[in-house]
Structure 1
Amino acid sequence: MSLKSVICEPQGQHKATVIWLHGLGDSGDGFAPIVPQLEIPNDIGVKFIFPHAPTRAVTINNNMEMRAWYDIISLDLDKRADEPGVRESSSQVEEIIEQEMALGIDADKIVLAGFSQGGVIALHLAPRFKHKLAGVMALSTYMCAPQKFNDETIQKDLTVLMAHGSQDEVIPMFAGKQALDIMKSAGMDVTWHDYPMGHQVCGEEVMVIRNWLIEQLQ
Structure 2
Amino acid sequence: MSRSLVILLHGVGSQGAGFAPVIRQWSAQRPDLALAAPDAPFAFDRSPLGRQWFSIQGVTDANRAERVAAARTAFDTTLHAALDDAGLSGQPERVVLVGFSQGAIMALDAVVSGRWPVAGVVAFSGRLASPLPYTPALQTPVLLVHGDADPVMPVAEAPRAAQALEQAGLSVKTLILPGVGHALSADGVAQAATFIHTCLPPAAAEVLH
Task: Give TM-score, length-normalised by structure 2.
Answer: 0.82
What is the aligned counterpart of 2:184 among 189, 201, 205? 201
Q: Which amino acid aligns with 2:189?
A: V
Checking the alignment, whether the CA contact within 8 Å between 2:68 and 2:106 is kept in structure 1 is no
Let me know the Cα RMSD of the aligned residues: 2.5
Q: Percent identity?
A: 27
Distance 1:118 1:31 in 2: 12
The reply on whether 1:140 has 2:129 as its aligned counterpart is no
Distance 2:149 2:16 in 1: 25
SS in 1 for 2:57: coil
Distance 2:184 2:140 in 1: 23
Q: CA deviation at 1:94?
A: 4.0
Checking the alignment, whether the CA contact within 8 Å between 2:41 and 2:75 is kept in structure 1 is no
Q: Which amino acid aligns with 1:123?
A: L
SS in 2 for 1:51: coil
1:113 maps to 98
Checking the alignment, whether the CA contact within 8 Å between 1:112 and 1:126 is kept in structure 2 is no
- Structure number having the greater strand percentage: 1
Q: Which amino acid aligns with 1:138?
A: A
Checking the alignment, whether the CA contact within 8 Å between 2:11 and 2:101 is kept in structure 1 is yes
Q: Which amino acid aligns with 1:55?
A: F
The reply on whether 1:23 has 2:11 as its aligned counterpart is yes
What is the aligned counterpart of 2:156 among 155, 165, 174? 174
Aligned residues: 198
2:51 maps to 67
SS in 2 for 1:207: helix
The range that moved more, 123-132 or 17-26, is 123-132
Unaligned runs of 5+ residues in structure 1 are 1-12
Checking the alignment, whether the CA contact within 8 Å between 2:43 and 2:51 is kept in structure 1 is yes
Distance 2:83 2:36 in 1: 13
The range that moved more, 21-30 or 75-84, is 75-84
Checking the alignment, whether the CA contact within 8 Å between 2:80 and 2:89 is kept in structure 1 is no
Checking the alignment, whether the CA contact within 8 Å between 2:41 and 2:78 is kept in structure 1 is no
Q: Which amino acid aligns with 1:209?
A: A
SS in 2 for 1:167: coil
